[in-house]
Amino acid sequence: MTSKCEVVVLRMLDPSIDVPELERALARSAVGPGELIAIVGKTGGRGSGDDPLRAGVERQLRSTLAAHLALRVDDVEKQIPIMLSGGSYGPLTPNIALFIKKPVTTTPDVAAVEPGVEGKSLVAGWARTPPLAPEDLGRPAQVDAVATAVEAALLDAGSPDPSDVHAVLVKGPAMTEARIRDAHARSRSVITDDPDIDLTASTMYTNDASALGVAVALGEVDRAEAMSERVIRHRWDLFSAVALASSAGEKTGADVLVLGNALDAASDLVVGHDELRSPIDVEGIHRALRRAGLEFDAAPSAAQRGDIVHVLIKMVLPADSVVLGETTALADADDPPAVAKTMAATLAASVTGHTRNYVSGGELDSHQGAPGASPVVAIVRRTTAAGSQHPGRRR
């Protein structure tokens, strides 16, 4: 059956959700059981692996959704992935994006549409890995588990061509001190005893293992080549152009959300992606918007900004701190993730004209994006006035 995907972005009342606004949005969209397929959001807090604010917001979301959808809280956890990124630094308002997928009985007329050019619209699907043991985090076992989950999410999205996949969000488990103790108690080693988010810490490894899993599932990297600890956070030539991965201590398995375009979808939304070729590359956002079909010259007009539904950025910092050939102190900052998120939030707000965007980041080099680049994703509403908008294909 054909589906119609909707994306609704709501502000949050930091440090908690705006319950009345969430309930109104669910009512306006007439969301029924099984139709809310994911929530992706930004919270306040530090954004560390064991961020209590982010975990508290997730619990509040589950409770609110359970009451509205007449589900048990445990069933909400099983049925709806909640993928929150902590740390709303810079011009960034805490927010949540509801990804809604409704069945429709009408089928778009695609007979006259040339594949890969126009007429495609948003499809989405999700899946979850089994629980991952602490000793598997940041290692080939995580790569393999995430790859399998991405393949399942592609099926849930209706099996779009991998070249039409423009974003794969992954929220995996973070290493915590409790997990490190658990592994050591069972005489198991972990990828690192550092649970923090700096250059050598476990979060870098867990995020990048997830990214390589995305790359394997989409055919960007050969599975056999990715299944080695000598590859993870070493072989930067192996990467996914569409992976946006993060980690949280409250997760036991990795949640995966795939966003792509397909000819037989009924959505009025289109997703596109590109890359920031440096941490100050605002044109990367413009390219992603154009690939999602928004046509403009130098920058989107005020009216066109209204057709920008959401912008998502994974800001990766260069470990050598070199930007456009010049030496900076980016990697030497006391809190690189805060710096990365501030920069990404500023770039996104300068284009969208508002602060309800999604940014994550702080990795120093990564398998998320090509070497020296950061993935950026744009979701755009196709309007009658836009006429000839063309959803682009992945490079």
> Which residues are known to be catalytic?
171, 246
Measure the N-to-C terminal CA separation of the chain; round to a whole number of Å: 29
Task: Answer for the pair 206, 233: CB distance below 8 angstroms, yes or no.
Answer: no
**Tokens read off for 9:** 């972005």
Q: How far is CA 230 from the centre of its chain?
A: 26
Rounded Cα gap, residues 169 and 213, in angstroms: 11
Instruction: Compute how many other C-beta atoms are within 10 angstroms of the C-beta atom of residue 373.
Output: 22
CA separation (Å) from 75 to 66, 67, 271, 287, 361? 8, 11, 29, 39, 30
Instruction: Compute how many other C-beta atoms are within 10 angstroms of the C-beta atom of residue 82.
Output: 23
10 Å CB burial of residue 33 (0-12, 13-18, 19+) is: exposed
